[in-house]
């Protein structure tokens, strides 16, 4: 009975003739089996490495190159007229709170909740051009575009409306793509027109991490937390090493901000004819010496910090008179009407 048993697939038969398998057929079967195993091994390895790259390194790598590309673009766009020490700050804040039954209007559009409107009113009080203990008024204000396809979402605009009215700055709500807005902001910084000024952006929290990377912030977190308090600050300083402060600290770098090329020293003619190889080496030495006289590259440094707004709903309501025996609260709401002030 054992003799009549057929050889299993892939096993080496004791007798090829009894197994009714020719040597050529057995060799082909062996090669086929080997190729199948190799192909499966390669596919499994590729899938495994792909998953590991996506989970651990893929997004980090993409983020890193986004930052480098943005920073190189900023350096390349910067005008020669921008002076060393030019400083600009970009502040990024999330929109106001959205939880509550009152956030939808009759058209299905989305708005801030009551507490969200209150935060927006408080947010405007954090800025002043007179009180030095507060943030300076922004020179530009951007908010995520309201049009979301099937409906309108005004939360990002409503977050900065009271501040825009207070500062007398129009809200630019043309942009939806983070990369597109970042190019516009970096282009403005590169002109030098934003030196000593602040740019404010009200954005959707899922997009803030990508926006920061497109704004060349290498130390920003990859994701903005799912809360409403943090304000991300991106400080841009141009040619830090060229400022008087750093030149005084690093005496050996005094000429960094000055492009000085000393004239070449005359070379005495050799007593004997010099071959082409020696002349070529001499020219290379001159070129190298000439190149070393150039100043070091001027570029932007980008610094990141995160600050909480410090919004306390009860304290703010009390400060505007909502808890002075009033039957109806919302004393801060005037700032949302045209021409309203606090």
Q: How far apart are CA 303 and CA 214, in angstroms?
A: 14
Task: Provide CB contacts within 8 A for 206, sequence distance 6+.
Answer: 224
Q: How far apart are CA 301 and CA 293, in angstroms?
A: 24
Nearest Cα residue to 10 out of 25, 2, 18, 1: 25
> Hey, what are 318's tokens?
């009390």
The residues of the chain that CATH labels 3.40.50.1240 are 62-242+299-336
Which CATH superfamily groups domain 62-242+299-336? Phosphoglycerate mutase-like (3.40.50.1240)
User: Confidence class of residue 2 from pLDDT cuts 50, 70 and 90?
Assistant: very low
The string of pLDDT tens digits covering residues 199-217 is 999 999 999 999 999 999 9
Strands (E), the chain: 87-94, 140-143, 171-172, 197-203, 230-238, 300-308
From 43-57, 80-94, 214-228, the region with the lowest mean pLDDT: 43-57
Q: What pTM does this model have?
A: 0.70
User: Confidence class of residue 58 from pLDDT cuts 50, 70 and 90?
Assistant: very low
What is the per-residue pLDDT for 274?
52
Q: How far apart are CA 161 and CA 138, in angstroms?
A: 13
Q: How far apart are CA 200 and CA 127, in angstroms?
A: 11
What is the per-residue pLDDT for 57?
46
Residue pair 165/335 in contact by the 8 Å Cβ criterion = yes
Q: How far apart are CA 235 and CA 198, in angstroms?
A: 9
Q: How far apart are CA 22 and CA 134, in angstroms?
A: 91
Q: How far apart are CA 342 and CA 340, in angstroms?
A: 7
């Amino acid at each position: 009975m054992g003799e009549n048993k057929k050889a299993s697939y892939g096993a080496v038969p004791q007798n090829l003739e009894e197994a009714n398998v020719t040597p050529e057929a057995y060799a082909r079967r062996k090669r086929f089996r080997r190729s199948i195993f190799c192909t499966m091994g390669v596919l499994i390895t590729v899938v495994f490495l792909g998953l590991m790259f996506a989970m651990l390194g893929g997004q980090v790598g993409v983020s890193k190159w986004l930052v480098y590309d943005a920073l190189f673009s900023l350096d390349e766009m910067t005008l020669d007229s921008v002076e060393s020490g030019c400083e600009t700050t970009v502040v990024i804040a999330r929109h106001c709170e959205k939880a509550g039954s009152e956030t939808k209007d009759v058209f299905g559009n989305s708005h801030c909740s009551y507490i969200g409107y209150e935060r927006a009113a408080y947010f405007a009080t954090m800025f002043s051009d007179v009180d030095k203990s507060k943030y300076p008024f922004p020179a530009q204000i951007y908010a995520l575009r309201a049009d979301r396809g099937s409906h309108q979402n005004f939360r990002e605009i409503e977050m900065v409306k009271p501040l825009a009215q207070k500062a007398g700055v129009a809200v630019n709500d043309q942009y939806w793509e983070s990369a597109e807005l970042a190019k516009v902001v970096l282009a403005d910084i590169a002109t030098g027109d934003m030196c000593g000024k602040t740019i404010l952006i009200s954005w959707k929290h899922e997009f803030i991490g990508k926006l920061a990377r497109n704004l060349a912030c290498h130390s920003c977190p990859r994701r903005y937390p799912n809360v409403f308090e943090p304000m991300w600050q991106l400080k841009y300083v141009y040619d830090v090493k060229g400022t008087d402060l750093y030149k005084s600290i690093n005496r050996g770098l005094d000429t960094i901000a000055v492009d000085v090329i000393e004239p070449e020293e005359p070379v005495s003619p050799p007593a004997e004819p010099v071959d082409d190889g020696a002349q070529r080496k001499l020219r290379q030495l001159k070129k190298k010496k000439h190149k070393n006289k150039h100043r070091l590259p001027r570029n932007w440094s980008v610094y990141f910090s995160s600050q909480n707004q410090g919004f306390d709903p009860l304290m703010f309501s009390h400060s505007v008179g909502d808890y002075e025996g009033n039957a109806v609260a919302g004393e801060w709401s005037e700032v949302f009407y045209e021409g309203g002030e606090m």
